Amino acid sequence: MTTPAPTQHALPSYLNPDHVGPWGIFLQQVDRVEPYLGNLARWVETLKRPKRILVVDVPIHLDDGSVAHFEGYRVQHNTSRGPGKGGVRFHQDVTLSEVMALSAWMSIKNAAVNVPYGGAKGGIRVDPKTLSRGELERMTRRYTSEIGIIIGPNKDIPAPDVNTNEQIMAWMMDTYSMNQGSTATGVVTGKPVDLGGSLGRREATGRGVFTVGVEAAKHIGMDVSTARIAVQGFGNVGGVAGKLFAEAGARVVAVQDHSGTIYREAGFDVPALLLHVKNTGGVGGFAGAEVIAKDAFWDVPCDILIPAALEQQITKDNAGRITARMVIEGANGPTTPEADDILQERNILVLPDVIANAGGVTVSYFEWVQDFSSFFWDEEEINKRLVRIMQEAFDAVWQVAEENKVTLRTATFIVACKRILHTRELRGLYP
Ligand code: NAD
């Protein structure tokens, strides 16, 4: 009996077209933009197959002398526009499908703000809270060594994501450098400033959220200085965005985080609230605030809603209740596809994550550029360049949305996919 020859389109098992979950959502998003890609559509299959997937075993000695094995991943979705770029996530629920999707969304995000990167992402399936500091360091270093064969300042540049931070980046940079035999600061971004990190990086994502919010408000005739803001998640992204909106005169009327949901019609004293969060770990217990039920957050009268905490928060169950005219996605993937459709039907403008929270990777790009030249810019210079990139990116997306009568999410995908596939076409196929 002869074995049938594989067809040209046979997919590897992990790319099963019936795939559900995050990677399945990404594939649907690509299908949605295909009709807008013109001649470049002939390259679209490129986006549906990650360029490179690495799965690694990460064995370490635990403090009690036993050996534990963790599963690690690094996926380079696309490198047509430049080296891979994207964070590393340490979480017990990390899966290959999730890392593949996150790497693909990084390709879109990097192309949308037009920084010269492809998309990549990494992760380890682990609850880091169960590890001691020493175990965490050993795991990070072994993972870095294992993926060291595909990362590098010109190849793929990791950064922090969920449960990874400046210290983890310092260990990654050191491990890679030890293996190379010389210090390579540009191998990761999000490093401590004393190790080649950039000023302005911590605030960059929140600043980008604020910048696109102000641009969009101009288009829909909203006065930001009188707007009421509701923010979910008051950490790095939500806290900074809330502070900048308040400085522009807006009232931050509702804030929800893991510790509770608070409301004040007259608006909060945001610097005082940030200090309270710094001292106590959450917004709960803030003096003068009305405590409301968790679910009541979605009914709060507001003009701008900023989900800046977790994925899949705006769902078909609450999208019909949201009163805002604009939603700015600070978090990655906070809106489910069904909720997205409901918001569109209700004429609520959604500024999608792939552009709204791209301020972080934009300043990561500045960090990488500064590391290469060993010449560091002041914060004013960084913020000025960040605002310009975000404004230009947003304007390009807005124009495409108007021309094609599509949502800003689809428009961002159109802009980004065209940029990626154009470089694919220019480079051609090797050999
Ligand atoms: P963070 O850890 O600084 O803050 C997270 C916030 O979410 C905290 O206020 C926390 O209390 C709140 N939170 C946690 N669980 C919650 C719950 N169940 N309900 C309501 N609030 C809850 O994290 P961050 O850096 O601000 O990131 C927030 C989101 O933005 C994530 O989705 C992240 O992937 C995304 N993002 C961050 C960056 C960045 O540069 N930090 C860049 C792009 C996207």
Whole-angstrom CA distances from 212 to 135, 193, 222, 238 are 40, 26, 13, 14
Number of H helices, E strands in the chain: 12, 12
pLDDT-derived band at 6, boundaries 50, 70, 90 = very low
Q: Where are the alpha helices (DSSP H) in 227-352?
A: 236-247, 270-280, 337-345
Q: How far is the CA of 312 from the centre of ligand 1 (A)?
A: 13
Q: What is the pTM of this model?
A: 0.94
Q: What is the mean pLDDT of residues 243-256?
A: 98
Whole-angstrom CA distances from 387 to 21, 215, 331, 362, 372 are 34, 10, 19, 10, 22
Q: How far is the CA of 310 from the centre of ligand 1 (A)?
A: 6
Average pLDDT, the chain: 95
Look at residue 2 in the predicted model and tell me its pLDDT: 53
**What domains sit in the chain, N to C, each tagged with a CATH number?**
51-183 (3.40.50.10860), 202-356 (3.40.50.720)
Ligand 1 atom nearest the C-alpha of 162 is 34
Catalytic residue, candidates 121, 191, 243, 418: 121
**Read out DSSP for 28-49?**
HHHHHHGGGSGGGGGGGGGGGS
Our answer on whether the CB atom of 254 is closer than 6 Å to any ligand 1 atom is no
Nearest to 208 by CA among 235, 233, 244: 244
CA geometry: angle at 293 spanning 288 and 294, to 5°? 110
Q: Report percent pLDDT > 70 for the chain.
A: 95
Residue 69 — φ and ψ, nearest 5°?
Answer: -115, 135
Our answer on whether the CB atom of 232 is closer than 6 Å to any ligand 1 atom is yes
Nearest to 298 by CA among 327, 336, 268: 327
Look at residue 24 in the predicted model and tell me its pLDDT: 87
pLDDT per position as a tens digit, 108-159: 999 999 999 999 999 999 999 999 999 999 999 999 999 999 999 999 999 9
Q: Is the pLDDT of residue 71 over 80?
A: yes
Contact between 103 and 76 (Cβ < 8 Å): yes
* 236 three-class SS: helix
